[in-house]
Structure 1
C-alpha cells in the first residue's frame, strides 16, 4: 500500500509539475507575443513619424526652391525686377522658413522632454494679447476656408512667460484647428480671466467645428507622437505639435485640456497664471474678425 501511495503521489507531483511548466510556457509565449506586438507598434509609429516629418519638411523646402527658381529666371530675363513682385516672393520664402523653424523647435522640445530635461525658458513679464493677435493674423493668411476670430473681455492679459514659446503654443493650437477642420468654417479663440482662490488665470479656448477626437483617444492626445484614431490614415501629421504645446504650458505653471466629440469639433483649453488682475469691466466682449 505504501508503494502504491508513493507511486500515486509521484504521479500527482509530476502532473502538477508538468502543468506548472506548461502554464509557464504559455505565460512566456504570451509575453513574447505582447513584446513583439509592442515592438511592431513602436516601429510603425516611428515609420509613420519619419514619413510625416519628411513630408512636412519637404513641403516648405519645395516652396522655397520653386520661389528661388522663379526669381532666378526673372533675373536672367531682365536686369530689373519689380520690387513689389520680389517682396511678395520673399514673403513666401519667409513663411516657409518660419514653418520649418517651428517644426524643428517642436521636435527639440519633445527631445528635451523625453530626455528628462526642463525647457530653457526666457521668462519675462509680457502682454499676451499682442502675441495672440499677431498669430491669429498669420494663421488667417494660410487659409481662405476658415474664419478666425478673437473674443475677449480684456486686452490686458499680463503673464510671466517666454514670448517665443507662447507664440509657438498659440500657433500650434490654431494650426491644428485649421488642419483638422478640412471642410473649413469658423475658428474662435475666446479669452477671459477666471479667479480661483487666490490666483487669477488667463483662460484661452480654441474652438473649431472640425472632425473632433474620439473619446478613447482624448486621454493620450498630448502624448508625444500620439494621433487620434480617426485621422491617422486620413490627415498627415507627426503627433508632436500638441505634445510640445502641452509641455510649454505646463512649464509656465499652466494647464491644458480638451473637450471634444467626434464629428462635432474640438475645444482646447489653456490656462496660464496671470501676473496682474485684468480689467474686465467692459460690459460686453470685444470680437475681432480675421477674414
Structure 2
C-alpha cells in the first residue's frame, strides 16, 4: 500500500468518524430539544386549563354525582388534543379536534404516581405524546386531565434527518477521499521527484550526480540534503576503491608481464640442461657419475614443470587483469564450424585416459557468430581441458544443439562431478572443489577466464552436475547470421 493511499484512507477515516460523531450528536440533540420543548408545551397547557376546572356535587335519583365542568375549553388553534375524564361517572369531556377518539390512560398508573406523567401511545397508527394529570379532590382521584400531541410529523422529520445525515456523511467522505487522492499526489510530488532522481542515478551509476531539489526546506528538503551528502560520500568511497582497484590491476598486469620474461628464460635454460644431461647420461653408461646425473635430471624436470605451471598462471593473471581493465574485444563475423574443428583437432593432443567423441558437428554448417576467433578457441579449449582433468574413466563427449536464434555447444563427461553447493562457485577466481585440491593440476582461473570470454560474446552457460556421475556444460552463443548453403563435411569421431 502506497503512502498516498494510506494518507487518503487515514484522513478519510478520521473525517468519517468525525461526521459520525457529529451526526449522532446532532440527531439526539434535536430529538431531545424538540420533545423536551413539546413536553413543556403540553404541561403548560395542562396547568393553564386545570385552573379553569370546576367541581360540582349534585344529587340524582341514583345518589350523589360529581360533575367536573371546564370553562373556555378551546385548544384547536394550538394543535393540542385535550380530554377530561370523570372517573366516578365515566363521563368524558373532549376538545373539538378529538372528535370521537378517546385518549387512553391507566387508572393504576394515576393512583400510583398521584402527579402528572408522560406516555407515548399509538392511536389509529399515529404516534401520540400524552401528558396525564390526575385530578385530586379531598385526597381522592376523581378524574384525569390529558393533553396530547400528534408527534408523527416530528418522527418523520427525525427519520428523514437520520437518512439525510447518513447519505450526506457518505457523500462527504467519498468526496474527501477523491480530493485527498488528488491533493496527496500534489503533496507527494517532491517525493516522486526524489524517487525518479535516485533511480536515474542508480541506472547511470554516476554517483557524482546530485539531486537538484528547489522546494522548501521541509522534511523533503532535509531528505534531499541527506541523500546528496550520502551520494557525495559514496562517490568519494567509490573513487577511492576505483583508484585502488586500478592500481591493483596495473600491478597485476605489470607483474605478470615482467614475470613472463624470467620464467621463459628459466624454462628455456632448464630444457637446455635437460637435453645436455640426457646426452651425458647416455654416454656415461656404468660410471659412478650416472646416478648424480639422474638426480640432476629429476631436479631439472621439476624446475621445468613448475616454471611451465607458473607461466600458465602468469598468462591467466594477465588475461584477468586485462579483463578487469575493461579490455574491449574486437569481434568479427566467423563461421563457427572451422573454429570448433580447430579446437577438436588440438584436443587430440591433451593427455587423457578416456574416450573423446564429437557428434553432429554438421549442424554447425552455415552458422556464423560475431566473435574474436582466438578467444573463442580458448573458451572451448578451457571447457574441454577441464572435462579431461576431472574424468578418470568413461568418456568426454561434445555435441551441438539449436534453440531458436542460439546455438548450443554441449560438453558432457562421466567425471567426478560436483555437489550443488559447489556449482555456484565454479566460476569464482582461484576456486577449486575440495575433492580436486591436490589431485589435479590447475590454478582455479580457467573457468573464470572462460566466463569472462563468454560474457564478452553475449553468451551464457548452463551447468548440470551430480557427485560421482559427471557434468554437462551447455554453452549458448547467439547466431549472428545463418546461410542456407550446406556444404558436406566429414564428421564423426575425432
CA offsets 1:27-50 (integer angstroms, 9 cap, x no match): xxxxxxxxxxxxxxxxxxxxxxxx
Residue 192 (structure 1) aligned with residue 401 (structure 2): yes
Supply the distance in 1 between the matched residues of 2:387 and 2:267 (Cα, whole angstroms): 24
Which residue of structure 2 aligns with residue 180 of structure 1? 390
SS of residue paired to 1:230: helix
Supply the distance in 1 between the matched residues of 2:277 and 2:338 (Cα, whole angstroms): 34
SS of residue paired to 1:220: coil
Residue 121 (structure 1) aligned with residue 329 (structure 2): yes
Written as runs of structure 1 = structure 2, the 5 A alignment for 1:37-52 is none
Written as runs of structure 1 = structure 2, the 5 A alignment for 1:1-291 is 61=267, 65=271, 69=275, 73=279, 104-113=314-323, 116-152=324-360, 153-181=363-391, 183-195=392-404, 200-277=405-482, 288-290=492-494
SS of residue paired to 1:288: coil
Shift of the 98–187 alpha-carbon distance from structure 1 to 2, 3 Å rule, reads farther
CA offsets 1:155-209 (integer angstroms, 9 cap, x no match): 333100000101100111110000011x2332111112210xxxx1111111111
CA offsets 1:90-110 (integer angstroms, 9 cap, x no match): xxxxxxx99987654432222
Unaligned residue ranges in structure 1 (runs of 5+) = 1-56, 78-96
Supply the distance in 1 between the matched residues of 2:374 and 2:396 (Cα, whole angstroms): 23
TM-score, normalised to structure 1's length? Answer: 0.60
Supply the distance in 2 between the matched residues of 1:101 and 1:133 (Cα, whole angstroms): 27
Supply the distance in 1 between the matched residues of 2:377 and 2:385 (Cα, whole angstroms): 12
- CA offset at residue 132 of structure 1? 1.4
TM-score, normalised to structure 2's length? Answer: 0.37
Shift of the 217–288 alpha-carbon distance from structure 1 to 2, 3 Å rule, reads same
Shift of the 281–135 alpha-carbon distance from structure 1 to 2, 3 Å rule, reads closer
Which residue of structure 2 aligns with residue 16 of structure 1? none
Larger Rg: 2
Supply the distance in 1 between the matched residues of 2:402 and 2:308 (Cα, whole angstroms): 31
Do the aligned residues in 2 keep the contact of 1:125 with 1:159 (CA within 8 Å)? yes
Do the aligned residues in 2 keep the contact of 1:106 with 1:244 (CA within 8 Å)? yes
- CA offset at residue 117 of structure 1? 2.8
Supply the distance in 2 between the matched residues of 1:223 and 1:178 (Cα, whole angstroms): 20
Supply the distance in 1 between the matched residues of 2:484 and 2:273 (Cα, whole angstroms): 46
**Range with bigger deviation, 262-271 or 232-241:** 232-241
Do the aligned residues in 2 keep the contact of 1:109 with 1:119 (CA within 8 Å)? no
Report the aligned-residue RMSD: 3.7
Supply the distance in 2 between the matched residues of 1:272 and 1:173 (Cα, whole angstroms): 15
Aligned residue pair count:
205
Shift of the 72–210 alpha-carbon distance from structure 1 to 2, 3 Å rule, reads closer
Shift of the 234–62 alpha-carbon distance from structure 1 to 2, 3 Å rule, reads farther
